[in-house]
Protein backbone atom coordinates (compact mmCIF):
# COMPACT_ATOMS: atom_id res chain seq x y z
CA UNK A 1 0.00 0.00 0.00
CA UNK A 2 2.93 2.31 0.60
CA UNK A 3 4.58 1.47 -2.72
CA UNK A 4 3.03 4.37 -4.75
CA UNK A 5 4.15 6.89 -2.14
CA UNK A 6 7.62 5.35 -1.87
CA UNK A 7 8.00 5.37 -5.65
CA UNK A 8 6.97 9.02 -5.74
CA UNK A 9 9.41 9.84 -2.94
CA UNK A 10 12.35 8.19 -4.74
CA UNK A 11 11.52 9.33 -8.27
CA UNK A 12 10.22 12.84 -7.61
CA UNK A 13 12.04 13.92 -4.43
CA UNK A 14 14.97 11.86 -3.18
CA UNK A 15 16.27 11.01 -6.67
CA UNK A 16 16.32 14.60 -7.98
CA UNK A 17 17.87 15.80 -4.71
CA UNK A 18 20.70 13.26 -5.05
CA UNK A 19 21.29 14.28 -8.66
CA UNK A 20 21.24 17.95 -7.66
CA UNK A 21 23.84 17.31 -4.95
CA UNK A 22 26.08 15.59 -7.50
CA UNK A 23 25.62 18.39 -10.05
CA UNK A 24 26.57 20.99 -7.42
CA UNK A 25 30.13 19.64 -7.66
CA UNK A 26 30.21 19.80 -11.46
CA UNK A 27 30.27 22.25 -14.35
CA UNK A 28 27.10 21.41 -16.29
CA UNK A 29 25.27 23.39 -18.98
CA UNK A 30 22.47 20.94 -19.93
CA UNK A 31 24.08 20.35 -23.35
CA UNK A 32 27.33 18.60 -22.50
CA UNK A 33 28.29 15.98 -19.93
CA UNK A 34 28.85 17.20 -16.35
CA UNK A 35 32.50 17.95 -15.59
CA UNK A 36 33.64 17.40 -12.02
CA UNK A 37 35.01 20.62 -10.47
CA UNK A 38 34.92 19.73 -6.79
CA UNK A 39 34.00 22.62 -4.49
CA UNK A 40 34.54 25.31 -7.13
CA UNK A 41 30.84 26.23 -7.27
CA UNK A 42 30.67 26.67 -3.50
CA UNK A 43 33.87 28.72 -3.50
CA UNK A 44 32.46 30.94 -6.22
CA UNK A 45 29.43 31.73 -4.08
CA UNK A 46 31.71 33.38 -1.52
CA UNK A 47 32.79 36.00 -4.07
CA UNK A 48 29.61 36.39 -6.14
CA UNK A 49 28.29 39.94 -5.58
CA UNK A 50 24.86 39.23 -7.12
CA UNK A 51 24.38 36.26 -4.84
CA UNK A 52 25.16 38.46 -1.84
CA UNK A 53 22.70 41.07 -3.14
CA UNK A 54 19.98 38.46 -3.64
CA UNK A 55 20.58 37.04 -0.17
CA UNK A 56 20.26 40.46 1.49
CA UNK A 57 17.16 41.30 -0.58
CA UNK A 58 15.56 37.98 0.38
CA UNK A 59 16.32 38.50 4.07
CA UNK A 60 14.71 41.96 3.98
CA UNK A 61 11.72 40.49 2.17
CA UNK A 62 11.29 37.74 4.78
CA UNK A 63 11.91 39.92 7.84
CA UNK A 64 9.39 42.57 6.74
CA UNK A 65 6.69 40.55 4.99
CA UNK A 66 6.27 37.64 7.41
CA UNK A 67 5.53 39.66 10.61
CA UNK A 68 3.22 42.01 8.67
CA UNK A 69 1.32 39.13 7.11
CA UNK A 70 0.89 37.30 10.41
CA UNK A 71 -0.16 40.46 12.26
CA UNK A 72 -2.80 41.31 9.65
CA UNK A 73 -3.94 37.69 9.49
CA UNK A 74 -4.42 37.57 13.26
CA UNK A 75 -6.23 40.92 13.33
CA UNK A 76 -8.61 39.84 10.58
CA UNK A 77 -9.17 36.47 12.28
CA UNK A 78 -10.18 38.26 15.48
CA UNK A 79 -12.57 40.48 13.53
CA UNK A 80 -14.07 37.57 11.62
CA UNK A 81 -14.56 35.59 14.84
CA UNK A 82 -16.75 38.36 16.23
CA UNK A 83 -18.90 38.34 13.10
CA UNK A 84 -19.76 34.68 13.56
CA UNK A 85 -23.05 34.89 11.65
CA UNK A 86 -21.30 35.62 8.35
CA UNK A 87 -18.13 33.67 9.16
CA UNK A 88 -18.31 31.45 6.07
CA UNK A 89 -18.61 34.39 3.68
CA UNK A 90 -15.87 36.38 5.40
CA UNK A 91 -13.56 33.38 5.47
CA UNK A 92 -14.00 32.75 1.74
CA UNK A 93 -13.55 36.43 0.85
CA UNK A 94 -10.35 36.85 2.83
CA UNK A 95 -8.91 33.53 1.70
CA UNK A 96 -9.40 34.28 -2.01
CA UNK A 97 -6.21 36.38 -2.39
CA UNK A 98 -4.17 33.45 -1.08
CA UNK A 99 -5.55 31.26 -3.86
CA UNK A 100 -4.70 33.85 -6.50
CA UNK A 101 -1.73 35.72 -5.05
CA UNK A 102 1.05 33.44 -6.30
CA UNK A 103 -0.39 33.09 -9.79
CA UNK A 104 1.17 34.63 -12.88
CA UNK A 105 -2.06 36.51 -13.67
CA UNK A 106 -2.14 38.32 -10.32
CA UNK A 107 1.58 39.12 -10.50
CA UNK A 108 0.98 40.70 -13.91
CA UNK A 109 -1.98 42.61 -12.48
CA UNK A 110 0.29 43.82 -9.67
CA UNK A 111 2.56 45.39 -12.29
CA UNK A 112 -0.35 47.42 -13.61
CA UNK A 113 -1.56 48.39 -10.13
CA UNK A 114 1.83 49.85 -9.18
CA UNK A 115 2.86 51.01 -12.67
CA UNK A 116 3.16 54.62 -13.81
CA UNK A 117 -0.48 54.63 -14.97
CA UNK A 118 -1.72 52.24 -12.30
CA UNK A 119 -4.48 52.38 -9.74
CA UNK A 120 -2.18 53.49 -6.92
CA UNK A 121 -1.12 56.62 -8.79
CA UNK A 122 -4.72 57.27 -9.82
CA UNK A 123 -5.64 57.39 -6.12
CA UNK A 124 -2.64 59.45 -5.04
CA UNK A 125 -2.68 62.08 -7.79
CA UNK A 126 -5.91 63.85 -6.62
CA UNK A 127 -4.34 64.11 -3.16
CA UNK A 128 -1.37 66.02 -4.56
CA UNK A 129 1.09 63.22 -3.78
CA UNK A 130 3.92 62.80 -6.29
CA UNK A 131 3.34 59.77 -8.50
CA UNK A 132 5.90 57.37 -9.89
CA UNK A 133 6.29 53.92 -11.33
CA UNK A 134 6.52 52.11 -8.01
CA UNK A 135 7.86 48.98 -9.66
CA UNK A 136 10.56 50.79 -11.64
CA UNK A 137 11.77 52.89 -8.71
CA UNK A 138 14.61 51.11 -6.84
CA UNK A 139 13.48 52.61 -3.54
CA UNK A 140 9.97 51.13 -3.74
CA UNK A 141 10.25 48.08 -6.03
CA UNK A 142 10.86 45.61 -3.20
CA UNK A 143 8.02 47.19 -1.27
CA UNK A 144 5.57 46.21 -4.01
CA UNK A 145 6.63 42.57 -3.65
CA UNK A 146 6.21 42.80 0.12
CA UNK A 147 2.75 44.30 -0.35
CA UNK A 148 1.79 41.44 -2.67
CA UNK A 149 3.03 38.89 -0.13
CA UNK A 150 1.15 40.53 2.75
CA UNK A 151 -2.01 40.65 0.59
CA UNK A 152 -1.94 36.83 0.64
CA UNK A 153 -2.74 36.63 4.37
CA UNK A 154 -5.76 34.36 3.84
CA UNK A 155 -4.09 31.02 4.62
CA UNK A 156 -2.63 32.00 8.03
CA UNK A 157 -5.85 33.88 8.79
CA UNK A 158 -7.94 30.72 8.40
CA UNK A 159 -5.51 28.81 10.64
CA UNK A 160 -5.61 31.59 13.26
CA UNK A 161 -9.39 31.55 13.12
CA UNK A 162 -9.46 27.80 13.73
CA UNK A 163 -7.18 28.30 16.74
CA UNK A 164 -9.31 31.13 18.15
CA UNK A 165 -12.43 29.00 17.92
CA UNK A 166 -10.75 26.35 20.08
CA UNK A 167 -10.12 28.75 22.97
CA UNK A 168 -12.84 28.31 25.63
CA UNK A 169 -15.06 31.36 26.02
CA UNK A 170 -15.04 30.82 29.78
CA UNK A 171 -11.43 31.98 30.00
CA UNK A 172 -12.23 35.33 28.42
CA UNK A 173 -15.28 35.72 30.65
CA UNK A 174 -13.18 34.95 33.74
CA UNK A 175 -10.62 37.58 32.70
CA UNK A 176 -13.42 40.12 32.20
CA UNK A 177 -14.79 39.39 35.69
CA UNK A 178 -11.31 40.06 37.08
CA UNK A 179 -11.39 43.50 35.44
CA UNK A 180 -9.32 42.79 32.34
CA UNK A 181 -10.26 44.79 29.25
CA UNK A 182 -10.12 43.47 25.69
CA UNK A 183 -6.45 44.39 25.21
CA UNK A 184 -5.34 42.90 28.54
CA UNK A 185 -7.47 39.79 27.94
CA UNK A 186 -5.91 39.33 24.49
CA UNK A 187 -2.31 39.49 25.73
CA UNK A 188 -2.90 37.60 28.98
CA UNK A 189 -5.29 34.89 27.81
CA UNK A 190 -5.81 34.67 24.04
CA UNK A 191 -2.27 35.16 22.76
CA UNK A 192 -0.54 32.69 25.15
CA UNK A 193 -3.07 30.00 24.22
CA UNK A 194 -2.60 30.81 20.56
CA UNK A 195 1.21 30.61 20.57
CA UNK A 196 1.32 27.07 19.04
CA UNK A 197 -0.72 28.38 16.09
CA UNK A 198 1.48 31.47 15.84
CA UNK A 199 4.56 29.27 15.75
CA UNK A 200 3.04 26.96 13.14
CA UNK A 201 2.18 29.89 10.87
CA UNK A 202 5.58 31.49 11.48
CA UNK A 203 7.49 28.39 10.38
CA UNK A 204 5.36 27.91 7.26
CA UNK A 205 5.54 31.55 6.20
CA UNK A 206 9.30 31.84 6.73
CA UNK A 207 9.93 28.74 4.62
CA UNK A 208 7.55 29.87 1.89
CA UNK A 209 8.94 33.43 1.86
CA UNK A 210 12.50 32.22 1.34
CA UNK A 211 11.28 30.32 -1.74
CA UNK A 212 9.24 33.17 -3.28
CA UNK A 213 9.79 33.22 -7.02
CA UNK A 214 6.77 33.95 -9.26
CA UNK A 215 6.00 37.54 -8.10
CA UNK A 216 9.66 38.57 -8.37
CA UNK A 217 9.98 36.96 -11.80
CA UNK A 218 6.86 38.60 -13.25
CA UNK A 219 7.22 42.01 -11.63
CA UNK A 220 10.88 42.38 -12.61
CA UNK A 221 10.57 40.77 -16.03
CA UNK A 222 12.80 37.92 -14.88
CA UNK A 223 15.86 40.14 -14.35
CA UNK A 224 15.59 41.45 -10.78
CA UNK A 225 15.18 44.99 -12.08
CA UNK A 226 15.40 47.77 -11.13
CA UNK A 227 19.01 47.66 -9.94
CA UNK A 228 18.53 44.13 -8.58
CA UNK A 229 16.12 45.45 -5.96
CA UNK A 230 13.67 42.61 -6.69
CA UNK A 231 16.37 39.97 -7.17
CA UNK A 232 15.18 37.40 -4.66
CA UNK A 233 17.37 34.35 -4.14
CA UNK A 234 15.07 31.96 -6.01
CA UNK A 235 14.96 34.33 -8.98
CA UNK A 236 18.76 34.54 -9.11
CA UNK A 237 18.92 30.74 -8.91
CA UNK A 238 16.57 30.56 -11.90
CA UNK A 239 18.67 33.07 -13.86
CA UNK A 240 21.83 31.06 -13.28
CA UNK A 241 20.14 27.75 -14.17
CA UNK A 242 17.87 28.56 -17.11
CA UNK A 243 19.23 31.83 -18.51
CA UNK A 244 22.97 31.30 -18.19
CA UNK A 245 22.74 27.47 -18.13
CA UNK A 246 25.06 27.15 -15.13
CA UNK A 247 23.23 24.15 -13.73
CA UNK A 248 26.10 23.12 -11.47
CA UNK A 249 26.28 26.54 -9.84
CA UNK A 250 22.49 26.72 -9.57
CA UNK A 251 22.45 23.30 -7.86
CA UNK A 252 24.99 24.53 -5.34
CA UNK A 253 22.80 27.59 -4.73
CA UNK A 254 19.79 25.34 -4.18
CA UNK A 255 21.63 23.33 -1.55
CA UNK A 256 22.78 26.51 0.18
CA UNK A 257 19.16 27.66 0.33
CA UNK A 258 18.10 24.29 1.75
CA UNK A 259 20.76 24.47 4.47
CA UNK A 260 19.87 28.07 5.37
CA UNK A 261 16.16 27.26 5.64
CA UNK A 262 16.93 24.16 7.71
CA UNK A 263 19.19 26.12 10.05
CA UNK A 264 16.67 28.95 10.53
CA UNK A 265 13.86 26.44 11.11
CA UNK A 266 15.97 24.61 13.71
CA UNK A 267 16.69 27.91 15.49
CA UNK A 268 12.98 28.74 15.53
CA UNK A 269 12.21 25.37 17.10
CA UNK A 270 14.88 25.91 19.74
CA UNK A 271 13.60 29.39 20.52
CA UNK A 272 9.99 28.19 20.62
CA UNK A 273 10.64 26.46 23.94
CA UNK A 274 10.73 29.86 25.63
CA UNK A 275 7.52 31.38 24.27
CA UNK A 276 5.26 28.64 22.85
CA UNK A 277 2.83 27.29 25.45
CA UNK A 278 0.93 24.05 24.99
CA UNK A 279 -2.23 23.07 26.86
CA UNK A 280 -0.73 19.88 28.31
CA UNK A 281 2.14 21.69 30.03
CA UNK A 282 2.21 21.61 33.79
CA UNK A 283 1.47 24.92 35.51
CA UNK A 284 4.49 26.20 37.37
Report helix angle 154-165 to 87-100, nearest 10: 150
C-alpha span between 141 and 151 (Å, rounded): 16
Average pLDDT, integer, range 233-240: 96
Q: What is the pLDDT of residue 279?
A: 66
- Among the ranges given (66-70, 174-178, 197-201, 240-244), the one the predictor scored with the smallest mean pLDDT: 174-178
Percent of the chain with pLDDT over 90: 60
Res. 283: pLDDT tops 50: no
Which of the listed ranges 55-69, 72-86, 112-126, 129-143 does the model predict with the highest average pLDDT? 55-69
Q: Assess whether pLDDT exceeds 80 at residue 3.
A: yes
Classify 279 as helix, strand or coil.
coil
> Residue 197's pLDDT band (boundaries 50, 70, 90)?
very high
In 1-140, alpha helices (H): 3-8, 15-23, 40-45, 49-82, 87-100, 104-113, 119-124
Query: What is the arithmetic mean of pLDDT over 140-149?
Result: 92
pLDDT at residue 284, rounded to an integer:
43
Read off the pLDDT band of 84 (50, 70, 90).
low
Q: Which CATH superfamily is domain 38-275 in?
A: MetI-like (1.10.3720.10)
Amino acid sequence: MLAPWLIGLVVLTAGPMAVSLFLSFTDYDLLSDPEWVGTANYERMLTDPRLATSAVTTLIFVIVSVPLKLAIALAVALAVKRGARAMGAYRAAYYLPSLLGASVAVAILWRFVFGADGIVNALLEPLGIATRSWISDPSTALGTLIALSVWQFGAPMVIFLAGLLQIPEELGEAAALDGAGRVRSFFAVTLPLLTPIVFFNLVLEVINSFQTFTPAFIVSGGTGAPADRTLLYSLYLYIEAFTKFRMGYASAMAWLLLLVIAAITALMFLGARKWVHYGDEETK
